[in-house]
Chain A
Amino acid sequence: MYVAVKGGEKAIRSAHRLMAEKRRGNTEVPEVEIEQIREQLSLAVDRVMAEGSLYDRDLAALAVKQARGDLVEAVFLLRAYRTTLPRFGNSQPMDTAAMHVRRRISAAYKDVPGGQVLGPTFDYTHRLLDTDLAMPTTPATFSDNEERICAETEHGEEEIISVCPKVLFFLEKEGLLPPEEGVDIFPGDLTRQPLELPADRDIRLQNLARADEGMLLALAYSTQRGFGATHPFVGEIRMGETEVFFVPEELGFPVVVGEITLTECESVNHFVGNKRHPASFTRGYGLVFGENERKAISMALVDRALRADEYDEETRGPAQNVEFVLYHSDNVEASGFVQHLKLPHYVDFQAELALVRSLRGKTAGKESE
């Protein structure tokens, strides 16, 4: 039982003032601006939007600044802020096939229609600290890049298309992969109703999309190491911009209200089949706000692992346990409950102390008898 405490207002005020000073750091160094965080720490902003479950680059950048770069704290700030806003409604389901892709790769097929484009990626970098970045660069450094100029001449006048077909569609066409079909029902919403088990895939996917990235990564890794193996291939990863269509009640027709960056991962897994059903692959799905491939892949792996029941698979790993995954994946909840331990528990502890003392007293008494 937790018993509330009073007092300490002055100390708390001073602590908050001190925190604000620490956030500012050395005042001889210029203060970081929201625009700088939004533009130059964009992957931190993306992570905060995904786990905060609110797409707004400016607010997420502000949260990162306010939280002194503590991303889980920033996620909390966004979650708290969203509760102050009205909801206008649901968008139409976003169509990732119509995405203007900036990155699209397949680890299953070498030659995919539309081609493989690397886009902005850390892959194939040497992970050596770049000391040049220690000095500010001028934009001219990029435009003078020789390679860029070569590539431009190569494309010539040929039209460049940024919308390309989904890789898994080709497997579906051959009948080797069941297409994703779902009844067209209004999805459940974790922000409106508490999590209940058994949870359908709509709830599971919402939970995973806002789940802590570290938690998902660890769970995905655990399936690869044998705790519920699903033999995954990355069928396709695509990242780019997708338009958001919303039907305002008063208008009754869809209006584009914005454009957001998404990362999507579709995995091709472990095949199933028996005498009645010819062998076919299975699939997992990951969709995340912003540029975040690590999380999209992890989500696809965990989504597939959570479908163990559907395929009558033996559940041998935590990643296959719906209750374990869904109840422990939210870092706002987890952080709140773990960190509440540091708040005063004086009465609680006194009770335990008295109990242990009395037990010892009894033992000591018995011994002396």
Chain B
Amino acid sequence: MLETEAAKLPDSFSYIFLRRPEPGLVMLEGRAGNTGQRFNLGEMLITRCVVRLESQESNIVSEGYGFAQGNRPRHAELAAMFDALLQQKNWEEPLERSLIGPLIAGRKEQLRKRAEETADTKVDFFTMVRGEDK
């Protein structure tokens, strides 16, 4: 999706890496009983990237941050680039429409589908009446 949308962009801007895509870890925290003492559950691999983007049309410079789950340098780079573009006035609205909107819709659809599959397994247990309970 990011790649397809990126291919459609005009070449009226350029960006440099402030931080090349690099993999690293985030320590994931949990809480006892979800509300109690914080503890370290384990780490997760992510890729981060920071770009500085300059538009030749408006001469506006913006910094974009990208994060992707796993070792996905290209994903993090594209996310950073789009983040930088989204901070530029003339890009914000068209990208909200062509990229952010569909991404949010896709996520909703994914959650709905998952929930629907799960809902099929909803169960109603009933307790049997034992003889002596009469």
Contacts and interface: CB of A to CB of B under 8 A. Distances in A.
Interface of A: 49-50, 53-59, 82, 85-97, 100-103, 110, 115-120, 147-148, 151-152, 155, 160-162, 166, 168, 179-191, 200-203, 205-206, 209-210, 241, 244, 246, 248, 250-251, 255, 257-260, 264, 266, 283, 285, 287, 289, 303
A39 to B, nearest CB: 15
Contacts of B82: none
A96 B33 CA distance: 9
A257 B67 contact: yes
Interface in B37-62: 37-46, 48, 50
A211 B112 CA distance: 34
Nearest to A150: B120
Contacts of A258: 44, 46, 67-70
A148 B118 contact: no
Contacts of A92: 29
A307 B15 CA distance: 55
Contacts, number: 216
A209 B9 CA distance: 46
A251 B122 contact: no
B126 to A, nearest CB: 7
A318 B25 CA distance: 34
B36 interface: yes
B129 interface: no
B104 interface: no
A264 B111 CA distance: 20
B30 interface: yes
A155 B116 contact: yes
Contacts of B41: 94, 205-206, 209, 287, 289
9 contacts: A50-B42, A91-B29, A93-B29, A115-B122, A116-B122, A117-B118, A151-B120, A179-B36, A188-B40
B28 interface: yes
